[in-house]
Amino acid sequence: MNTDIIVIGAGGHAKVCIELLRSMGERVAFCVGAPGSPDRCLDVPVLNGDDNLATLHQKGYSRAFVAIGSNGIRDRLARLAVDQEYGLVNAISPHAVISPTAELGTGIAVMAGAVINASALIGDLAIINTGATIDHDCRIGRGVHIAPRCALSGNVRVGDHSFLGAGCTVIDGIRIGEGVTVGAGGVVISDIGPKATAVGVPARVVGDPIK
C-alpha cells in the first residue's frame, strides 16, 4: 500500500491544494486531470483521464483528494473515487484557525486565513477558501464553495452545492438553499431559496431559479 495522495484535478485549485497537502506533511504522487491536461501541475506529474484512478488503485494508491472548484464536478469525481475504494482526505492549511468544537467532513479544503468558529459544521467536499470566516453554529452543506474573504455570521445555513462568491457577507441566522449562487460582494440579509442566483447589496434574487 502507498500512502501518497492522488489529487483529482490539475488546474489552479489543484495547485493550491497540493501546497496545502504538503504543508500537512503529505506527499502527492500524481494528479489526474481531464484529457488534454498539461503534463504537470506545479511539479506533480499529471495523468489524463479518470480511468487512471483504477490503474493507480491497482498499484496500491488508496488516498485521494478532489481539487476541482466546480461543485458539481467535484462531487461527481468524489463519488467515483469512493466507488473505486479511495479514502478521501482533507487539505487544511496550518494557517487556518479552526475551533476544537467545529465538526469537519471529509474531502474538504480549508485555505490559509480561514476561520471556523465554535460548533460550526463543514460538510463533505466543502471549500472554505482563503480568508473566509465561518462563525459559530453555521451549517455548511456538502460540496459548497465559500470563496475567498466571505464572512458568514453565526447560525448561517448554506445548502449543498451552493457557491458564495468572493467577499460575500451573510448576516446571522440566514438560510441559503441548495444549489444557490451568490455573486461576489453580495450582502445577504434575507433567506434565499434553492437554486437561486442572488447579487448585490443587499443581495436580491435575479431571474427564475434554475430548474
Residue range at the interface with ligand JB3 (CB under 6 A); choices 10-18, 117-125, 168-176, 178-186? 10-18
* Smaller CB separation from ligand JB3, 77 or 152: 77
Minimum Å distance from CB 93 to ligand JB3? 13
Show the site string, 81-120: x = touches ligand JB3 by CB under 6 A, - = not.
----------------------------------------
State the Cα angle at 86 between 131 and 29, rounded to 5°.
Answer: 70
CA 118 to the chain's CA centroid: 20
Using CB under 6 A, pick the residue from 5, 6, 7, 10 that binds ligand JB3. Answer: 10
Which amino acid, residue 47?
L
Q: Residue 131, interface with ligand JB3 (CB under 6 A)?
A: no
Using CB under 6 A, pick the residue from 69, 131, 141, 143 that binds ligand JB3. Answer: 69
The position carrying cell 494508491 is 61
How many of the other CB atoms lie within 10 Å of CB of 119?
Answer: 16
- What is the C-alpha separation between 188 and 90, in angstroms, rounded? 29
Does residue 136 carry a catalytic annotation?
yes
Minimum Å distance from CB 94 to ligand JB3? 18
Say which of 13, 57, 95, 136 is annotated catalytic: 136
Picking from 28, 139, 131, the residue whose alpha carbon sits closest to that of residue 89 is: 28
- What is the C-alpha separation between 190 and 170, in angstroms, rounded? 9
Residue range at the interface with ligand JB3 (CB under 6 A); choices 63-71, 81-89, 116-124, 150-158? 63-71
Q: How many residues bind ligand JB3 (CB under 6 A)?
A: 21
- What is the C-alpha separation between 211 and 196, in angstroms, rounded? 9
Q: What is the CA radius of gyration of the chain?
A: 17
Binding residues for ligand JB3 restricted to 17-36, rule: CB under 6 A: 32-34
* 3-state SS assignment for residue 5: strand
Q: Which residue is nearest to ligand JB3 (CB)?
A: 69
Q: Residue 143, interface with ligand JB3 (CB under 6 A)?
A: no
Q: From residue 161, how far is each of 6, 44, 75, 178, 186 by CA, in Å?
A: 23, 28, 9, 6, 18
Cβ proximity of 88 and 65 under 8 Å: yes
Binding residues for ligand JB3 restricted to 147-176, rule: CB under 6 A: 147-148
For the annotated catalytic residues, the residue numbers are 136
Q: Which residues bind ligand JB3 (CB under 6 A)?
A: 8-14, 32-34, 37, 50, 68-70, 73, 77, 127, 129, 147-148
